[in-house]
A and B are shown apart, each in its own frame.
Chain A
């Protein structure tokens, strides 16, 4: 499934939920199972640790044209291992995504061009091989979408995107 992150960024029907959960086995399964069971539509789900080893943090993007964000939030609260849920919609916040993009290198000229593109997007080339380079890009989804658009002309071999992570300002 192709996730339209540009639309997610611009479309007010995309809500970002930040969920703090207990760092225990099976918790991700409980959350994922909830979405499946309730037929909730989500665009992305990113999970990672926090400064508290007992707590993990999930960032979930919900498509509210299909699913009520309030209903998702209330149902998440019912999961026993969920500590807190916050809907960042309308709250000043920073959202970022990281992507690794492997691009085909036809000749050395192309390699230089790709490096230039990466620079223009304030991205980095993090791996150089004879026939391919890997570009690391961080930013809002629109930025990732844009660099992908440009690099597509060179031949993209592989892409991985983390999905949105977000944090309130201040």
Chain B
């Protein structure tokens, strides 16, 4: 059957079970949009208001469903607008396929209208990319793109397709298998080495007195929650997660200490600093997790599992580094280890935990009704019973979310980790809502990040998406201000931020807008927002100059945290001087 290149693109999407596109049309991709008209009952296209948000929504859709997200844009500015979203997916290993139109093959290299070297521009922020100039290459390239995106360590793949290739026709034969000459998700050598390495790992585990499991997002990518839970239960070892690892294990699980790192609770970092063995599973020792590498967990041996061999020994040298999927590697390791418990170790951790609890800002005496961002997060958690998908932006509210929202459901937090992309929350909520249509989806953003993605309110309305949007407004770029306060003598260079009237803004978009300035009002509008059948924009006016504690300042060690005073000593919002 002869099809146009454009039709082959769409047939390939159907074949890959990727029938949702976040995109924005334009000249060089027009033939594909024209073909899309005939496919509109089989492929859903969501018109975003900026291409960056198409990529971010596709990224979030992948995280919400495990299915490859798809975004589409035209050449030149359309494609370059995708770049931040691609970089976000690259850093957080999200499988997305981006399809971009390119000028006709005869014009490539001529500086034609809306021509950009898109494969050149996106090379370092994609797992792989392709420039397709011939219609005959489209089917195989699309199949390869999906294969590469979802296999091994997932990542974004961009396919740049010349306009004339979209217009020309050729015989379409669905591509059912992909053979790449070099690329392999896991090398045979790694598979061969695994049993020996696992035996060494089991040996280290049997010798440890103060082990800690560092659980990362790789467990989600491998869909290895069950295998992980079995390992955790049998090993009896305390677990801490990375930011992106939140959701791999119920935070009510008695062994789950919750998030580690720069803004992880103090007792978690103290446990890591005091550990004699770290078992790192599908995580990459990001600098936000380790603090100063020279002093990081200095008495600990390290077992490191990762599907990406380049992560082993990159930041923290591993005593036992195992390359592979945690889903494959954990069951045999669970077999090899003894069932154990660590009463002494937990006793120590619980002492640290008690101290942490005493420094909780919500436990300290505050002026009547004073609304802090942690109150807002806690109120959302309480009102919803925690049974929602949360998409956060980047900054203080994001860290408070990890501290004051107890995550009990799998993969319920969708957030931008490695790249720290402001403006993520709203497009992420859009992507997540398409992925989990029956779920209650919340976007939680600061006043800064939200103002980067306001235009997507139109997408929310146009698509009739029931998303609850909480804007935590402290009239500052809060996290940057916090750094300025702690490290730059309160020189608030360009961090004070004016915002529009968010309630009126919501009204302008025809959605429900509400505002809270006290704790009571916060509880009230959250309840009303949940009753409202449709999107709601809530503005929470919170205290301006509050800090996320504890904090490992850049270059400091895990056990050199800047902390708040215990409530008994006055508590309050400031750090211990």
Residue of B nearest to A34 (CB): B124
Complex: how many Å from CA A33 to CA B122? 11
Q: Which of B148, B180, B181, B182 has the most CB of A within 10 A?
A: B182
Complex: how many Å from CA A74 to CA B187? 11
Question: Is B338 among interface residues, defined by CB-CB distance under 8 A?
Answer: no
Complex: how many Å from CA A16 to CA B74? 43
Residue of B nearest to A37 (CB): B124
Known contacts A70-B313, A75-B310: A80-B123 contact under CB 8 Å? no
> How many residues of chain B have a CB within 8 Å of chain A?
19
What is the distance, in angstroms, from B413's C-beta to the closest C-beta of chain A? 28
Complex: how many Å from CA A75 to CA B180? 17
B182 x A81 contact (CB < 8 A): yes
What is the distance, in angstroms, from B342's C-beta to the closest C-beta of chain A? 34
> With a CB–CB cut-off of 8 A, which chain A residues contact B128?
80
> With a CB–CB cut-off of 8 A, which chain B residues contact A20?
182
Complex: how many Å from CA A80 to CA B187? 13
Question: Is B309 among interface residues, defined by CB-CB distance under 8 A?
Answer: yes
Complex: how many Å from CA A79 to CA B180? 12
B181 x A78 contact (CB < 8 A): no
Residue of A nearest to B311 (CB): A74
A78 x B123 contact (CB < 8 A): no
> With a CB–CB cut-off of 8 A, which chain B residues contact A71?
310, 313-314
Residue of A nearest to B314 (CB): A71
> How many residues of chain A have a CB within 8 Å of chain B?
22
Complex: how many Å from CA A68 to CA B127? 22
Complex: how many Å from CA A54 to CA B119? 21
Question: Is B37 among interface residues, defined by CB-CB distance under 8 A?
Answer: no
What is the distance, in angstroms, from B141's C-beta to the closest C-beta of chain A? 12
> With a CB–CB cut-off of 8 A, which chain A residues contact B127?
80
Question: Is A92 among interface residues, defined by CB-CB distance under 8 A?
Answer: no
- For chain A residues 1-53, which have a beta carbon within 8 Å of chain B? 20-22, 25-26, 29-30, 33, 37
Question: Is A82 among interface residues, defined by CB-CB distance under 8 A?
Answer: yes
B310 x A22 contact (CB < 8 A): no
A33 x B310 contact (CB < 8 A): no
Complex: how many Å from CA A79 to CA B477? 38
Question: Is A84 among interface residues, defined by CB-CB distance under 8 A?
Answer: yes
What is the distance, in angstroms, from B430's C-beta to the closest C-beta of chain A? 30
A68 x B182 contact (CB < 8 A): no
Complex: how many Å from CA A21 to CA B182? 8
Complex: how many Å from CA A81 to CA B314? 22
- For chain B residues 177-193, which have a beta carbon within 8 Å of chain A? 180-183, 187
B123 x A74 contact (CB < 8 A): no
Question: Is B308 among interface residues, defined by CB-CB distance under 8 A?
Answer: yes
What is the distance, in angstroms, from B309's C-beta to the closest C-beta of chain A? 4
> With a CB–CB cut-off of 8 A, which chain B residues contact A83?
181-182
Residue of A nearest to B120 (CB): A29
- For chain B residues 114-149, which have a beta carbon within 8 Å of chain A? 119-120, 123-124, 127-128, 131, 148
> With a CB–CB cut-off of 8 A, which chain A residues contact B308?
78
B124 x A33 contact (CB < 8 A): yes
> With a CB–CB cut-off of 8 A, which chain A residues contact B187?
77
> With a CB–CB cut-off of 8 A, which chain A residues contact B123?
29-30, 33
Residue of A nearest to B308 (CB): A78
Find A68's partner among B120, B124, B131, B313 (CB 8 Å cutoff): B313
What is the distance, in angstroms, from A53's C-beta to the closest C-beta of chain B? 13
> With a CB–CB cut-off of 8 A, which chain B residues contact A74?
309-310, 312
Complex: how many Å from CA A75 to CA B187? 13
Complex: how many Å from CA A75 to CA B131? 22
Residue of B nearest to A70 (CB): B313
Complex: how many Å from CA A20 to CA B183? 12
Residue of A nearest to B133 (CB): A25
Q: Which of A26, A37, A54 has the most CB of B within 10 A?
A: A26
> With a CB–CB cut-off of 8 A, which chain A residues contact B310?
71, 74-75, 77-78
Complex: how many Å from CA A89 to CA B302? 27
Complex: how many Å from CA A33 to CA B128? 12
Interface string of B150-188 (1 = CB under 8 A from A): 000000000000000000000000000000111100010
Complex: how many Å from CA A37 to CA B313? 18
Residue of A nearest to B148 (CB): A80
Residue of A nearest to B182 (CB): A83
Complex: how many Å from CA A36 to CA B46? 37
Find B180's partner among A33, A70, A77, A80 (CB 8 Å cutoff): A80
Complex: how many Å from CA A80 to CA B182? 7
B182 x A22 contact (CB < 8 A): yes
What is the distance, in angstroms, from B449's C-beta to the closest C-beta of chain A? 27
> With a CB–CB cut-off of 8 A, which chain A residues contact B119?
26
B181 x A22 contact (CB < 8 A): yes
- For chain A residues 45-77, which have a beta carbon within 8 Å of chain B? 54, 68, 70-71, 74-75, 77
Complex: how many Å from CA A25 to CA B309? 26
Complex: how many Å from CA A75 to CA B181? 17
What is the distance, in angstroms, from A41's C-beta to the closest C-beta of chain B? 16
Residue of A nearest to B323 (CB): A74
> With a CB–CB cut-off of 8 A, which chain B residues contact A82?
182-183
> With a CB–CB cut-off of 8 A, which chain A residues contact B181?
22, 54, 83
Residue of A nearest to B181 (CB): A83
B124 x A84 contact (CB < 8 A): no
Complex: how many Å from CA A71 to CA B309? 9
What is the distance, in angstroms, from A61's C-beta to the closest C-beta of chain B? 20
* Known contacts A22-B182, A29-B120, A78-B308; 6 further A-B pairs (Cβ under 8 A): A21-B182, A25-B131, A26-B119, A26-B131, A37-B124, A80-B182
Please list 23 pairs of residues, one from A and one from B, whose beta carbons are closer than 8 Å in the complex, sorted by A's number. A20-B182, A22-B181, A26-B119, A26-B131, A29-B120, A54-B181, A68-B313, A71-B314, A74-B310, A74-B312, A77-B182, A77-B310, A78-B310, A80-B127, A80-B128, A80-B148, A80-B180, A80-B183, A81-B182, A81-B183, A82-B182, A83-B181, A84-B182
State the 8 A-B residue pairs at the shortest beta-carbon distance, nearest first.
A83-B182, A74-B310, A80-B128, A74-B309, A80-B183, A75-B310, A82-B182, A37-B124
Residues of A within 8 A of B (CB): 20-22, 25-26, 29-30, 33, 37, 54, 68, 70-71, 74-75, 77-78, 80-84
